[in-house]
Structure 1
Amino acid sequence: MPWVIAGDFNEPLINEDKFGGRAVSVSRSLLFKECLDKCNMIDIGFLRPRFTWTNRREVQALIKERFDRYFVNPSWVLMYPEAKVTHLTRCHSDHCPVFVGDVVEMPCWINGIQRALALKPSTFLVNLENELLKELDVVLNQEEELWALKSRVNWMIQDDRNTSVYHVSTLVKRKRNKIMAIKDAVGDWIHEEDDIKFFIRSGFNKIYLPSLSCVPKTDPTKSSWQPKLTEVERECHDPNPWNMNSDA
């Protein structure tokens, strides 16, 4: 029977699984290995940054460890030979998410910084990671507010930060707003989408086209209205106001 044991084991197995702080306890790691051997469990490795936990301190007091793991038995490996364990980008927690399955894409900028920190920590990388995490938090909050607005959910009252709730609520609302069927003038139901469109378009044509057809079409160049000048305006525009009769 295939078995999987996964979680935060709070204990590194080898020295390479820890950076900073006290050295790995040999006695505790041996007990850990003995337990895994008795259960016939194996570590299938991982992708991305080595460490899954950090105390998020400055470089002088920084500690990183690989606590979160997936252990499987041989039957599971035979059933899922292509499965891979991926350490995803750590954002809000001191632990990074651990994913088993096909390789997934994550924000390359943060992931790249965390991979570099696992190899050679520095003050610059620690500060850069903190700045990028703050920027990501702003983007995630904006996405959350957008979906809350779309779904018309009062998320401040519910205090639920699960974005999937807003996704589902928005999709449900779209489904409710969609016209699935409509009655015609006789009272029969129309279900086909093209027939519904034709019926609605015809209704608008009956309302608006007759009123437009009542407006007479006239040629603007042949309008009966012509501008006329008053006597005063005509005198003011007379080019020879002092023109006198030649016989005088």
Structure 2
Amino acid sequence: MWSKLQNLKSVSNLPWLVIGDFNEALWNFEHFSVTPRAEAQLVPFRDTLEICGLVDLGFSGVPFTYDNKRSGSVNVRVRLDRAVATNAWRNLFDFASVDHIPSPCSDHVAIFLKGEPDLGPVGGKGRRYEVSWERDSSLPEVIKQAWAAVGEVQNRAQLRDALTITMRTLGTWSRKFGNVMRELAKSRTQLEELMSMNADREDIRKVSDRMNELLYQEEMLWMQRSRISWLKEGDRNTIFFHSKAVWRARKNKIRQLTDSIGVVHSDFAAMSKLANEYFRGIFSADASPDASPVIDLWETMVTTEDNDRLCAPFSDKEISDAMFQIGPLKAPGPDGFPACFFQRNWSTIKESVIAAGD
């Protein structure tokens, strides 16, 4: 590995970052074991970094990245994973930092490299139905009670109000879960402390089990935001889902808009007003054109019987079929509910939805 790194350095002077498992420590104080590492084993790594001009970016978290998970004198913990970079790279990313993130699923901790935050116009965030709530068996009953408290729904305005009230109820109910990210961070910190203290394996297992559940919830959270429907949850695809969600957010983020006279706006309030006026204009009916001269030239293709069928009220079956043909996580409305909320609670809300559509 060391010769390959040196060869790469010899053919390029571009800013360079190397991150991952080097399978070696730099110094003996990074090796926590009864048996020390041979100094001759460490020197080639240090020499390679010096030749390549690579500097260790440091870290925050536990001082080791590998734990063989054994007890007593045979336990070995060592910092094998790290991020190193040239000064040219560090000048481009002044605020880069590295976190060691413990995981219950591996004998290595995760190496998380953070850069500068993505700043830009941000609007207010509404409530969102989280698929991870469905892990709680009491959710259907909570929704049923919230919907029953709304009363009879006869039109779309009442349906909108019913959804708003239900979302408010779910928001209050879901507080017991806390924020998945924060709870996961707490569990990681707790696991980190237990690992550092060489605590009892049973205590570590309990925290690991809790962390596994939170990791699954995190995976579902990012799957929901990525809108990926062809990959099944539960296979630890969190990184993929997160990457897709971040890509979607960056792709869909509107940073500036140009008005009709060529003025560029980047303020969120100004862009909101401009977008509202634009779509209000293009979707407004123009009463000035007279279409009758053109319509008279068209040959009638739809029979009276066909027209009657097309204009007939939607049946309950047609509405239900249409509902269950929607992708469960596709494009939730402004009320924050994706299609899966309606699909999984159809027996509770079916009559109200159909009544509102009549």
C-alpha change, 1:139 and 1:6, in structure 2 (3 Å) is closer
Give the residue type in structure 1 aligned to 2:25. P
Q: Deviations over 1:128-153 (max 9, x none)?
A: 222210222234446668979x9887
Unaligned segments of structure 1, at least 5 residues: 179-199, 205-248
- Name which of 185, 208, 212 aligns with 1:133: 208
Give the residue type in structure 2 aligned to 1:57. R
C-alpha change, 1:109 and 1:152, in structure 2 (3 Å) is closer
* CA distance in 1: counterparts of 2:27 and 2:47, whole angstroms: 14
- Residue 49 of structure 1: aligned partner: 62
Give the TM-score, by structure 1 length.
0.57
SS of the residue corresponding to residue 330 of structure 2 reads helix
Give the residue type in structure 1 aligned to 2:213. V
Compute the displacement of 1:114 (Å).
Answer: 1.7
C-alpha change, 1:108 and 1:152, in structure 2 (3 Å) is same
Compute the displacement of 1:85 (Å).
Answer: 0.8
8 Å contact kept, 2:19–2:82 = yes
8 Å contact kept, 1:53–1:95 = yes
- Residue 110 of structure 1: aligned partner: 188
Is 1:11 the counterpart of 2:89? The answer is no
Q: Deviations over 1:39-97 (max 9, x none)?
A: 01110211111111111122343211100010100111111111111111222111111
* CA distance in 2: counterparts of 1:144 and 1:108, whole angstroms: 17
Compute the displacement of 1:25 (Å).
Answer: 1.7
8 Å contact kept, 2:102–2:108 = no
* CA distance in 1: counterparts of 2:237 and 2:330, whole angstroms: 16
Cα RMSD, aligned residues only: 3.8
C-alpha change, 1:160 and 1:45, in structure 2 (3 Å) is closer
Q: Relative contact order: is structure 1 or structure 2 higher (C-alpha 8 Å, sep ≥ 6)?
A: 2
C-alpha change, 1:131 and 1:162, in structure 2 (3 Å) is same
* CA distance in 1: counterparts of 2:17 and 2:229, whole angstroms: 41
SS of the residue corresponding to residue 127 of structure 1 reads helix
- Residue 72 of structure 2: aligned partner: 59
Compute the displacement of 1:117 (Å).
Answer: 3.1
- Residue 330 of structure 2: aligned partner: 172
Aligned residue pair count: 175
Unaligned segments of structure 2, at least 5 residues: 1-13, 117-180, 246-326, 340-354
8 Å contact kept, 2:65–2:108 = yes
* CA distance in 2: counterparts of 1:82 and 1:154, whole angstroms: 35
8 Å contact kept, 1:50–1:115 = no
* CA distance in 1: counterparts of 2:205 and 2:218, whole angstroms: 20
C-alpha change, 1:142 and 1:3, in structure 2 (3 Å) is closer
* CA distance in 1: counterparts of 2:101 and 2:67, whole angstroms: 14
8 Å contact kept, 2:216–2:236 = no
SS of the residue corresponding to residue 172 of structure 1 reads coil
8 Å contact kept, 1:151–1:170 = no
C-alpha change, 1:160 and 1:116, in structure 2 (3 Å) is closer
8 Å contact kept, 1:114–1:129 = no
- Residue 233 of structure 1: aligned partner: none
Compute the displacement of 1:109 (Å).
Answer: 3.4
C-alpha change, 1:22 and 1:82, in structure 2 (3 Å) is same
- Name which of 111, 117, 123 aligns with 1:98: 111
Q: Name the % identity.
A: 24
* CA distance in 2: counterparts of 1:80 and 1:100, whole angstroms: 11
SS of the residue corresponding to residue 48 of structure 1 reads coil
Higher Cα radius of gyration? 1
Higher helix share: 2
